Amino acid sequence: MIPDDPTALDYRRGRSGRPLQRLKAWLKDEGTNTCWLCGRPIDMVLTAADPNHREAWTLDHRVPLSRGGDPLDPANAREAHRRCNSARGNREPRPRPNASRRW
Ligand SMILES: [Zn+2]
């Protein structure tokens, strides 16, 4: 859970800056460090060494911000590889081969 401390009052202000950094830090610590798009683990040692690496950890949003997703809602936050995140763009995530759905 998000720590219930005084600074949490500022948690939802703004799309950049400290609240987003806090959300990222929280997700890195509390998350599974597994990419929600490809299902594979994310190398946090690599991420610390090279945050811009294509296999590095990124914060993705289940509902993209361009579709009205809340950038600071932990319920909307997902962990993803940088390349998976950027490959997805604003589309719905592609189903995994073993989790296909028919619409
Ligand atoms: Zn991935």
Cα distance between residue 79 and residue 89, in whole Å? 14
Cα distance between residue 43 and residue 101, in whole Å? 29
Match 């997703």 to its residue by tokens: 69
User: Residues 6-21: what's their mean pLDDT?
Assistant: 58
Q: Is the pLDDT of residue 8 over 50?
A: no
Q: Is the pLDDT of residue 38 over 70?
A: yes
Cα distance between residue 22 and residue 11, in whole Å? 8
Kindly give the distance from the C-alpha atom of residue 6 to the centroid of ligand 1, in angstroms, as a whole number: 34
Kindly give the distance from the C-alpha atom of residue 4 to the centroid of ligand 1, in angstroms, as a whole number: 31
Q: Which residues pair with 41 in a beta bridge?
A: 34
Token couple for 100: 């296909």
Which residues neighbour ligand 1 (ion) by CB within 5 Å? 35, 37-38, 81, 84
Residue-level pLDDT at 40: 98
Token couple for 9: 């009052």
**Domain ranges within the chain, ordered by starting residue:** 17-92
Kindly give the distance from the C-alpha atom of residue 14 to the centroid of ligand 1, in angstroms, as a whole number: 27
Amino acid at 44: M
Q: Is the pLDDT of residue 24 over 90?
A: yes
pLDDT tens per residue, range 42-94: 999 999 999 999 999 999 999 998 899 999 999 999 999 999 999 987 677 66
Kindly give the distance from the C-alpha atom of residue 24 to the centroid of ligand 1, in angstroms, as a whole number: 17
